[in-house]
Chain A
Amino acid sequence: MSAPPPSLDALHREHAGRLLALLVRELRDFDLAEEALQEAWEAALRQWPRDGRPGNPAGWLLTVARRRARDRLRRAGTERRALPLLIVDGGSGPARTGERARDHAAAPAGRAGRPTGATGGAGAAGAPPPGVSGLGERVEDEEAAIPDERLRLIFTSCHPALAPETRLALTLRYVAGLPTRAVARLLLVSEATMAARLTRAKRKIAASGIPYRVPEGGELPARLASVLAVIYLLFTEGYLPSSGPRVVRAELCDEAIALARLLRELLPGEPEATALLALTTLQHARRDARVDARGRLVRLPDQERERWRRDEIAAGLALLAAAERESAERAAAGGAGAAAGGTAAGPYLIEARIAAEHDRAETAAATDWQAIAALYAELEAVKPTPAVRLARTVAVAEASGADAALPLLDGIEQALPHSPQPHLARAELLRTLAREEEALAAYDRALSLARNDAVRAHLAARRAELARRI
């Protein structure tokens, strides 16, 4: 018995991003590519159950989508010509991907020119006369290999000229291929709000000339950092939601990990992409232990480590080792095009090392806090942010005592005025130093800022515990 064919859902998951990425490149228009691809899926839903699934479903979809795009352009006539087209090429040097498959259809005819003619060689031959397409698509010449243009889609979606929340939305909608409703649900806004945000984003991309290309050479490190940040932001929103009732939103983490995996696949040998996948894998492996039976947040030292997923930790450690090798190779090669941080380890590699230190400890007491504190100092050197300082403070407290850690917190509350975390850290340090009154005041400040219900519950419990004791 052969395995059953993948469901349409699985097919969609596998091919949607890739097909869209290619169509956007060919048509130079997000909306047209989306609409044409949507029509192709609808045609597949009608036709495949009746006529059987084609041998190359993705090739079939691509051919039909190109045909539908051509129909739409023909119908729209000159109306659409006034709209600005995406800038697809124009880089001076060779791009990092897709250039071998440089598309026949993508050559722009001129600023106002639209590819109104054949948008692809494959679709032209078997095109039915207008009006016949509703009866069924005859696709004779399915393309075998579909060039992978998803890196363009990723870099355009994560362009720094777009607002951070817009980058998240575009990445989920187009790179991960989620429907607008699902993106809205993940990012906790209404579907109408999300649809409007996506429309505005596409308009800005086209009208402001954000190019649909992979950045080259000197631009790459900063742009890659933006892509990594979008994926990690998505992960942390799932790992520790900034608001709402839930303490972990695993569906966000899963999407982020899938995106990190895709990025690594598309940028082989890029140490920070591998490190991001290692980091998210190592952190997500602890998810079952981070929430107790009543849905409350469980801190790292109190987690039941037998509930950590050992297979995922092993996979994460293997990825970390791969990232270390790639980073060393990059450094040996002289750091040309090195990720943020030049020839030194990049921030995600250092964070993955930290996550690995925690995951390797059999018990909380066995944690090598000296090593972790040193790693945080290294991280702060390449990424001097208040959040990193905060995390370093906690590590220093464990390694060298609350006395040594407390001065590191100075100024961090002001630098993170909306976060309860610095106040919580201060409260815990003061508590250790038996400065209870000050600790209670710090818990109160933390409580006044916490918007995540599980974090609030945790803070309230810690405060009550201390108040009872004094």
Chain B
Amino acid sequence: MLYALLMYQDADFDAQWERASEAERAAVYRLHGDFSTLLESRGAIRGGEELAPVTTATTVRKQDDTAADAVVTDGPFAEVAEHLGGFYVVEARDLDEALEYAKALPVRTVEVRAIITDDQRPPE
């Protein structure tokens, strides 16, 4: 199965990241590098990205899913304590293996969600 590992950071993470020294940032990237190496060694990596700080987010809202008009606002869609900071997409045999990867991530909160693949959708 494919899983998304959604990494959530505390609201003040971006500010801390701004203040962090080169060495501190390099240390964090090294941890993610180690994680990627783990995934590669098991043939599990399918993708992943780091997102720009949540303070740079822009939200587009419509009356309903297919409405023509949209309202564009500055900021994330909801004011919450933790923000999505990035994600990995991994191949895992089951939730147990996906959870094992999530636990190995150098991030405080990780939400694990299975990805719906084409073969689970009704045929055209």
By a CB distance below 8 angstroms, the chain B residues around A78 are 123
Q: Give the CA-CA distance A87 to B95 in the complex, in Å.
A: 9
- Chain B, residues 36-74, CB within 8 Å of chain A (1/0): the string is 000000000000000000000000000000000000000
Whole-angstrom distance from the CB of A222 to the nearest CB of chain B? Answer: 11
Question: B1 and A209: CB pair below 8 A?
Answer: yes
By a CB distance below 8 angstroms, the chain A residues around B11 are none
Nearest B residue (CB) for A83? B120
Max count, chain A CB within 10 A of own CB: residue among B1, B96, B99: B96
- Chain B, residues 87-124, CB within 8 Å of chain A (1/0): the string is 00000111110110000000000001110010111110
Question: A90 and B94: CB pair below 8 A?
Answer: yes
Question: A208 and B120: CB pair below 8 A?
Answer: no
Question: A207 and B114: CB pair below 8 A?
Answer: yes
Check A210 for interface membership: any CB of B closer than 8 A. Answer: yes
Question: B99 and A161: CB pair below 8 A?
Answer: yes
Whole-angstrom distance from the CB of B121 to the nearest CB of chain A? Answer: 6
Check A420 for interface membership: any CB of B closer than 8 A. Answer: no
Question: A111 and B119: CB pair below 8 A?
Answer: yes
Nearest A residue (CB) for B118? A112
By a CB distance below 8 angstroms, the chain A residues around B120 are 82-84, 112
CB within 8 Å for A82 and B121 given contacts A209-B1, A209-B94, A211-B96 = yes
Partner of A90, one of B93, B117, B121: B93
By a CB distance below 8 angstroms, the chain A residues around B95 are 159, 161, 208-211
Check A311 for interface membership: any CB of B closer than 8 A. Answer: no
Interface of A, secondary structure class, is: loop
Question: A209 and B98: CB pair below 8 A?
Answer: yes
Q: Give the CA-CA distance A117 to B121 in the complex, in Å.
A: 22
Max count, chain B CB within 10 A of own CB: residue among A209, A210, A211: A209
Check A219 for interface membership: any CB of B closer than 8 A. Answer: yes
Whole-angstrom distance from the CB of B70 to the nearest CB of chain A? Answer: 31
By a CB distance below 8 angstroms, the chain A residues around B113 are 208
By a CB distance below 8 angstroms, the chain A residues around B94 are 87, 90, 209-211, 213
Question: A87 and B1: CB pair below 8 A?
Answer: yes
Nearest A residue (CB) for B93? A90
By a CB distance below 8 angstroms, the chain A residues around B122 are 82
Check A215 for interface membership: any CB of B closer than 8 A. Answer: yes
By a CB distance below 8 angstroms, the chain A residues around B96 are 210-211, 215, 219
By a CB distance below 8 angstroms, the chain B residues around A90 are 93-94
Nearest A residue (CB) for B112? A208
Nearest B residue (CB) for A110? B119
Q: Give the CA-CA distance A111 to B119 in the complex, in Å.
A: 8
By a CB distance below 8 angstroms, the chain B residues around A208 are 95, 112-114
Identify 5 new A-B residue pairs, CB closer than 8 A, beyond the known A84-B120, A90-B93, A209-B3: A83-B120, A112-B119, A208-B95, A209-B94, A213-B94
Q: Using a CB–CB distance below 8 Å, which chain A residues touch chain B?
A: 78, 82-84, 87, 90, 111-112, 159, 161, 207-211, 213, 215, 219
Q: Using a CB–CB distance below 8 Å, which chain B residues touch chain A?
A: 1, 3, 92-96, 98-99, 112-114, 117, 119-123
Would you give 26 A-B contacts (Cβ < 8 Å), ordered by A?
Answer: A82-B120, A82-B121, A83-B120, A84-B114, A84-B120, A87-B1, A87-B93, A111-B119, A112-B119, A112-B120, A159-B95, A161-B99, A207-B114, A208-B112, A208-B113, A209-B1, A209-B3, A209-B92, A209-B98, A209-B114, A210-B95, A210-B96, A211-B94, A211-B95, A211-B96, A219-B96
Closest 4 CB pairs of A and B: A211-B94, A90-B93, A112-B119, A209-B95
